[in-house]
Amino acid sequence: MMDKERLRRADLITAVILILFGAWIIGDAFTMPMKDSWGGVMNVWYVSPALFPLTIGISIVLLGCLLFGIAIKAVGVRQVMFHIAAFIEKKRRGRLISMPTMRFFAIVFLFLFFVYMNIPRVDFFISSLLFLIVFIVMFYVEDERVFIRLVTFYLAGSTVFFFYFILGINAALAARVPYPADILTAIFLVSYMVYAWRLVRADAALRKRYAIGIIIAVSVPVILCPVFKYFLLVPLPYEGIVVTVMDEVYYTLF
């Protein structure tokens, strides 16, 4: 398991990336209309399509700031400045710090696949659940060996999905099978969870972190998706198999 000081130094980089990414989401959300008129009727701000990305962006910024504060408190400002100087010197000599660099690229690829590949093509509930479970388990377990293997597993699977969409295989399957991308993504999600469990099951502390991560990851879309769709009346980016089932249940009951 990574020692505490190394972990907190890596958390500083992670926190800065999260804050910048959250700020980008917020800035992009403000390009969407907060109010608009349809058929002479003015929509109120709380049904704006900007509301969901604003909530996500603000949450990411706040969590990034929290992580940054925890890391600074654990490491100390003087140590942070020392390690920044050491990092710059090593970069100048052509060397890289392996784990922080890997954590950086893992975060970048996670967000790229989530935003540009999954959200436009996969049921929003499933794509959000996949992102949160991968992200939380990968980083919260705090074990270098597990982290590297989970990153490798996710990147391999996501690369397969990238070519699956680019080559038009999903469009061909959709003509014969309903919701093929949703089904395959759900299978990949379950495979990731099973693989992660096999990596952590021998260690009681890692098993506990894994369980907590899964509970948190599942709770977020279970709460937010129905709230935004049925109470705030904000359409989800892509509505597939799970949202269709939610519609059937909701409109049957209400």
**What pLDDT was estimated at residue 95?**
47
Using CA of residue 193, residue 198, residue 202, residue 203, what is the dihedral sign? negative
CA of residue 93 relative to chain centroid, distance? 34
CA-closest candidate to residue 184, choices 194, 199, 195, 174: 174
> What's 202's DSSP letter?
T
Give the tokens for residue 136: 């939380």
Q: pLDDT tens-digit profile of 44-78? A: 656 666 777 788 888 888 988 888 888 777 766 66
- Report d(CA 228, CA 52) in Å as an integer: 7
**What pLDDT was estimated at residue 107?**
87
- Report d(CA 150, CA 154) in Å as an integer: 6
End-to-end CA distance of the chain: 50
Q: State whether residue 44 is helix, strand or coil.
A: coil
**What pLDDT was estimated at residue 1?**
43
CA of residue 232 relative to chain centroid, distance? 23
Contact 110, 118 (CB under 8 A): no
Give the tokens for residue 9: 């130094």
- Cα-Cα-Cα-Cα dihedral of 86, 87, 92, 93, to 10°? 80
The list of the chain residues with pLDDT below 70 reads 1-9, 33-49, 75-98
Length of the chain: 254
CA-closest candidate to residue 135, choices 113, 119, 156, 116: 113
**What pLDDT was estimated at residue 84?**
59
Q: State whether residue 158 is helix, strand or coil.
A: helix
Which residues fall within 8 angstroms of residue 111, CB to CB, at 6 or more apart? 21
For every residue of 216-227, DSSP letters joined together read HHHHHHHHHHHI
**What pLDDT was estimated at residue 20?**
84
**What pLDDT was estimated at residue 76?**
66
> What's 48's DSSP letter?
-
**What pLDDT was estimated at residue 39?**
47
- Report d(CA 179, CA 182) in Å as an integer: 5
Give the tokens for residue 238: 């892509």
CA-closest candidate to residue 195, choices 150, 140, 133: 150
Give strand pairing partners of 41. 38
Domain segments of the chain as ranges = 1-96, 113-254
